[in-house]
Amino acid sequence: MTRHLALLRGVNLGKRQVKSADLKAVFEAMGYANVKTLLASGNVLFDAENPDRSTIEAALEQRFGFDIGTVLRSQDELRALIAADPFKGRREDPDTKLYVTFLDAPEAGSLPMPCAVEGDFEVVQLTAREICILAFRMPNGRFGEGMDQIWKHFGKRVLWTSRNFNTVLKAAA
C-alpha cells in the first residue's frame, strides 16, 4: 500500500464546512486504510494502491452536498518535492510565508515566468504540477495578495489548491 494525501479545495470556508470526523468516515467508507485528517483545512492522509480522484470527489459531494475538488499526491511525491528544496533553504519568518500550489494536471509550466509582484509575492520554483511561492507581508498585514493572478491564469481548466509549506512538511513526515 502507498500513503497518499488528498488535498481538498475550498473546504472550511464560509458555508463549505467539513468536520474532520466526517471526512475520515467518508474515506474509510470508500475502503481506504489508515485514514488520518491533518489540520482542519481539507487534508486527508490514507493508504491505497491506486486512489481514483473522481470516485473520491463523488463520495465527498454525496456526503457533504457540494462539489469538493480534490488533488492527490503520494507521500513519496511530497518527499521528493521537499528533497528538491524548492525554497532554496529559505524558511518562514514573520514577514515571509512559503506556499505550494498543487495542480491536478502538469500545467505549472504554462505560467508565464518570471512571476512576481515586488514586495507581494514571488514564484521561486515550478515543477510540472506544483508552484512554489514566497509571499511577503504587505503593509496591511496580509501576505501575497497578488497571488490570485497565478490562480486566474489557470481559471477553471485546471484544478488547483494551495497549502502552506509547513502543511506539506507535516504530511510528508
pLDDT single digits (tens) 45-89: 999 999 999 999 999 999 999 999 999 999 999 999 999 999 999
CATH code for the domain of 51: 3.30.70.1280
Residues 67 and 30 in one domain: yes
Interior/surface letters 135-151, b for 16+ CB within 10 angstroms, e for the rest = bbbeeeeebbebbeebe
Mean pLDDT of 95-103: 97
- Mean confidence (pLDDT) of the chain: 94
Q: What is the pLDDT of residue 163?
A: 95
Residues 100 and 148 in one domain: yes
Mean pLDDT of 103-115: 94
Please give the grid coordinates belonging to residue 68.
Answer: 469538493
**Where do runs of H (alpha helix) occur along the chain?**
20-29, 53-64, 75-83, 148-154, 165-172
User: Number of folded domains in the chain?
Assistant: 2
Give the pLDDT band of residue 15 (cuts 50, 70, 90).
confident
Domain-terminating residue out of 76, 93, 113:
76
| pLDDT greater at residue 15 or residue 121 | 121
Residues 102 and 162 in one domain: yes
Mean pLDDT of 120-130: 96
Full domain range(s) for residue 141: 84-172
C-alpha–C-alpha distance, residues 86 and 70, integer Å: 23
Residue labelled with grid coordinates 481548466: 157
Say which residues have a Cβ less than 8 Å from residue 2's Cβ, sequence separation at least 6: 47, 48, 49, 74, 75, 76
Length in residues, the chain: 173
> 144 with 116: CB under 8 angstroms?
no
Residues 63 and 42 in one domain: yes
pTM for the whole thing? 0.94
Label residue 49 exposed, middle or buried (CB < 10 Å: 0-12, 13-18, 19+).
exposed
Residues 116 and 162 in one domain: yes
